[in-house]
Structure 1
């Protein structure tokens, strides 16, 4: 009976024999033995040395002093790695081999004196080949502490659509081959009929909720309706309650301001994961795959005729899946750290051991109000209070902002009501850089006389309010202007109008030393005023007006001579009256008799 020995075993035995021959060969003859073996078996010297090493033989040749080094400089090698990495597509495909990178860099003046095979060998040693470059970065696995601690939500386009009405209102599946980017007209045909799958998963228990919506795309209304559906209490399932944290992507519908405000009002921390990083919410991505493979695959064999029927079937399926009640199918949750698998609903119900962790969803009407309620700007009063009308309060209430950073009297802060708590509100304060700071506040309490309970009392220790940011900056400015003085000394110095900066600040005297340039002087054109801007011509006093003014000045009736003298004046104005009076009152010299 002939026994066929595998070829690799024969070669392995041949390498062992060669190793024995090399050990026994005198110095100088090992090369001839190795070359003869290479010629007989048709292998390279590198293969021979590699196989000899596998059978336990190593050369006694002294290691070269330059072993592990290369003649190419580090910068050029990094540039080769960089250009090949930048030629990687989003799907991981590399479009630039090493040969093209070397050719391009050599044409740009880089000195590359190694072969492409040697460069590829160096890249394998450095873990920088295309295979290494497209490897995913290590990820950190996060844990949740209890059921409803973290919910993850993700909408995705479903390859299922429905005709809008009539006898064609039946289920259809989209042919993926028709949905390529180079066939947009095919996608347009079903643009109004798209069926969107919304999936939510509880990170702790792995419970899955799914619901379908017929829409052109993702919308805030559909997302909010889906969240309310998942969080409300239904008789058909134990799962309910709002989470402490909700993780979603950065889609336009998900990051709408209205939903963010509503989540803030419910005290739900919303975390949007980094774009193009599906591993950040890998559990809900896996849940989408579970829904597609374990539920939607059934629809081809038992079609449904509308989205309403689809949602009824989906609810029946996810309840059976979460409770591990599917016939001949084990849907229990399995994690590597678990001692044994457990039904998802069973693990979720551990939250009932700590009822304070289960936060029931408010009435649907209140939730829809929270979606419409936008933060309102409120002015900060002089005592650092704001006034706000909470929807659960009969009237406006006062909230104190004492001790909060970046609060400025007279400025406005954004205020939104919170559902949980006694008329709590969320105040958003922005600093000078636009960074927002959120604070949860409760209304102030007052006594029957209308005084705040925490206000200081007359005759007892009165503690002043802490400095605001503006006051702190003002005091720092005063200390700069009046060095080596405390606040009381600065106050006195201001009252005495002491010169700031110790009088060393040259405020205006240096302006006298400025040398003005010599300007060429040119005559400008005269402005000719129109008639409406010309001064009106004055009219002289009439004889009657003149006599009245003189009569009033004299305080007596005019004599005949004075009246006759006034008749001689013409073109008289008001400013001429003093001169006329002087002439009238001048005594007349008596006539001398000439003999």
Structure 2
């Protein structure tokens, strides 16, 4: 609001306050006409500049006529009719009507003065659901997020791939052939341009170390494939001149996808004993660090490429060389707000036992293409692999005759890795030492299965969700509820008849109306006539005394063939024709 309008409104407010009862409306009407605004607008503007007394709290504020049990049942029915996309299929009105018809809820209030019992309105029920924190909007809200931490540099790496807005096309004039996709040219209504850009697009892989936020970026062509992922991961683990971050991480976090969960990357991680953490689909905040790093690389590095000469960005190798220069500058100079150090300085806090030196790139590429093999445990708790025996006694729960998945150990030639699953379901790796047949035994302590994760305690909404699940399934614990869901048990034990309120309602009968017959004429199917032999075969069973006379009659009566549709009539005619005729009675006259 302007100063003039504010001053005018202040004057109106003073006059309005001093006016006696009954004349305040005229003052407001006059002000509306003078200022050229509506009455509601005037009230809203006055509320912004005038201090008003707060409304008196109602004596029954916070009290709800709807019981908690009824609220839970109504909420459970609404959640049962909720689609995964959040669409509510059953309205509150229908749910309440259905439950009332089945006698499962009361949902009424008693008038304190007259004692009259009245049904609660839908709005009152919705307010009660929100007060109880049982409203579907509250139950479907995202669960609270928790901050995760890593223990040391190279403990957790996050990997993400993204198709760049950069792509290559033939040079036009003096440009370098490097293009930035313009949304006016590349969108769904121009598929030809979109396909052209996708085929020639650059893909950007970004890897971040969770503890230090050290960033590694690399560019590939050909899309998000297992080969590209393995090559970028190998280059990130190898030591590079002028860069601090390298080594084998203990864990990597990725999005689900065919390339991220494919055999090539899985084989490489299994051989290097790297735990792979696949995030849930549709949960980008699980690895928000690398998502932000993607944005930093795009805005800080890629935006400068179009300013370079064509001979500086005409190959993928030159772009990656420029990216390496940017990485050294970015990781070595930019202060991170979380730890107050540069990314390289934070990564250099790694200790010697935490820095796992990777094998050569050639060996790691060979491991990526080598699938684990299955080997049977012998009676001596050993497995055979490439002509040697390895002790499997240290594998928890190993049994004679059981099959173990084993692969090469890239760091030692005298041992192999056995791949198993821990109690938490994560992949664990056990080192099987090459043994002499006269000595073997189990190790003193079991290998680390995996790190544990902490989470927030259940919020009231999450507790209500579990309780509603028990209520809907009629179970006493969550395991029984899951079993009931798996067994496709009817919700609420079949106590609810969803059509009872429909059947109990008297629907008026519809008055019959006079109509007009349709003029459609059914098509006539004309069958070809039967030959005399075909007709004789079908009619012979009806005449025990069948003879050549019957056949001759058919030939004489139907020389062109017998109609297939009139076979019954033909049989009747034939029967009448073959019936023996009675001789006429002769009368004798007596003279």
Quickly name the TM-score band, shorter chain normalised: 0.5 to 0.7
Worse overlay, 7-16 or 250-259: 7-16
Contact 1:205-1:348 within 8 A present in 2 as well: yes
Q: Distance in 1 between matches of 2:131 and 2:204?
A: 46
Question: Where do 1:116-515 residues align within 5 Å?
Answer: 136-163=142-169, 170-215=177-222, 217-302=223-308, 304-324=313-333, 331-335=334-338, 338=339, 341-351=340-350, 354-389=351-386, 396-401=388-393, 404-405=396-397, 407-420=398-411, 423-428=414-419, 438-446=428-436, 451-452=438-439
| TM-fit CA distance, 1:382 | 1.5
Count of residues in Structure 1 that have an aligned counterpart in Structure 2: 410
**Cα distance 1:429–1:284, how it changes in 2: closer, same or farther (>3 A)?**
closer
SS where residue 299 of structure 1 aligns?
helix
SS in 2 for 1:357: coil
3-state SS, counterpart of residue 359 of structure 1: coil
Any idea what SS the aligned residue of 1:300 has?
Answer: helix
In the alignment, what sits opposite 1:472?
none
Q: The residue matched to 1:196 in structure 2 has which SS?
A: strand
Deviations 1:34-76 (A, max 9, x none): 99999999569x99xx99x97445548x724995446997479
Contact 2:376 2:404 in 1 (8 A): yes
Distance of aligned partners of 1:400 and 1:182 in 2 relative to their CA distance in 1, 3 Å threshold = same
SS of equivalent residue, structure 2 residue 307:
coil
Show the counterpart of 2:554.
none
Maintained 8 Å contact 2:256/2:281: yes
Q: Is the CA contact (8 Å cut-off) linking 2:75 and 2:129 kept in structure 1?
A: no
Question: What do residues 343-392 of structure 1 show as CA deviations (whole Å, max 9, x unaligned)?
Answer: 111111122xx212111121111111111221111122122211223xxx
Query: Residue 353 of structure 2: SS of its match in structure 1?
Result: helix
1:83 & 1:179 partners in 2: Cα distance? 42
Match for residue 471 of structure 2? none
User: What is the Cα deviation at residue 307 of structure 1?
Assistant: 2.1
Counterparts in 2 of 1:37 and 1:344: CA distance versus 1, 3 Å: same
Structure 2 residues not aligned, in runs of 5+: 32-38, 102-106, 108-118, 443-591
**Is the alpha carbon distance of 1:6 and 1:322 closer, same or farther for their aligned partners in structure 2, counting shifts above 3 Å?**
farther
Structure with bigger RCO (C-alpha 8 Å, 6+ apart): 2
- Do the aligned partners of residues 176 and 429 (structure 1) sit closer, same or farther apart at CA in structure 2, a change above 3 Å counting? same
Residues in 2 aligned to 1:208 and 1:256: alpha-carbon distance in whole angstroms: 24
Closer/same/farther in 2, CA of residues 134 and 156 from structure 1, 3 Å limit: farther
> Partners in 2 of 1:248 and 1:374 — Cα distance?
21
- The answer (yes or no) to whether the contact 1:162–1:306 under 8 Å persists in 2 is no
Scaled by the length of structure 1, what TM-score is found? Answer: 0.57
Deviation at 1:190, TM superposition (A): 2.9
Q: CA contact under 8 A between 2:72 and 2:134: conserved in structure 1?
A: no
Change (3 A) 1:416 1:5: same
What's the C-alpha RMSD, in Å, of the aligned pairs? 5.0
Contact 2:237-2:246 at 8 Å conserved across structures: yes
The whole-number CA distance in structure 2 between the counterparts of 1:150 and 1:71 is 49
**How far off is 1:412 after superposition?**
2.4
CA distance in 2, matches of 1:436, 1:203: 20
- What CA distance in whole angstroms lies between the structure 2 residues aligned with 1:365 and 1:293? 34
**Structure 1 residue 241: Cα displacement:** 1.0
Kept after mapping to 1: 8 A contact 2:216/2:327: yes
- State the SS of the aligned residue for 1:230: helix
| Per-residue CA distance 1:525-580 (angstroms, 9 max, x = gap) | xxxxxxxxxxxxxxxxxxxxxxxxxxxxxxxxxxxxxxxxxxxxxxxxxxxxxxxx
Gaps of 5+ in 1: 22-29, 90-94, 325-330, 390-394, 456-595
- State how far apart, in whole Å, the 1-side matches of 2:277 and 2:413 are: 26
Q: Deviations over 1:240-267 (max 9, x none)?
A: 1111111111111111122112112112
Structure with greater Cα Rg: 1
* Matches of 2:254 and 2:84, distance apart in 1: 30
Deviation at 1:11, TM superposition (A): 8.1
The question of whether the paired residues in 2 share the 8 Å contact of 1:264 and 1:418 is answered with no
What is the CA deviation profile of residues 451-481 of structure 1, one whole-angstrom value per residue up to 9, with x for unaligned ones?
21659xxxxxxxxxxxxxxxxxxxxxxxxxx
Q: Scaled by the length of structure 2, what TM-score is found?
A: 0.57
- Please give the alpha-carbon distance, in whole angstroms, between the structure 2 residues aligned to 1:136 and 1:279: 12
Q: Secondary structure at the match of 2:324?
A: helix
Contact 1:76 / 1:110 at 8 angstroms: preserved in 2? no
- Once the 2 structures are TM-superposed, how far is the Cα of residue 6 of structure 1 from its aligned partner? 5.1
Q: 1:164 touches 1:193 (CA, 8 Å); kept in 2?
A: no
Q: Distance in 1 between matches of 2:305 and 2:136?
A: 41
SS at match of 2:280: coil
Distance change in 2, residues 1:226/1:8 (3 Å): farther
Inter-CA distance 71–137: structure 2 relative to 1 (3 Å threshold): closer
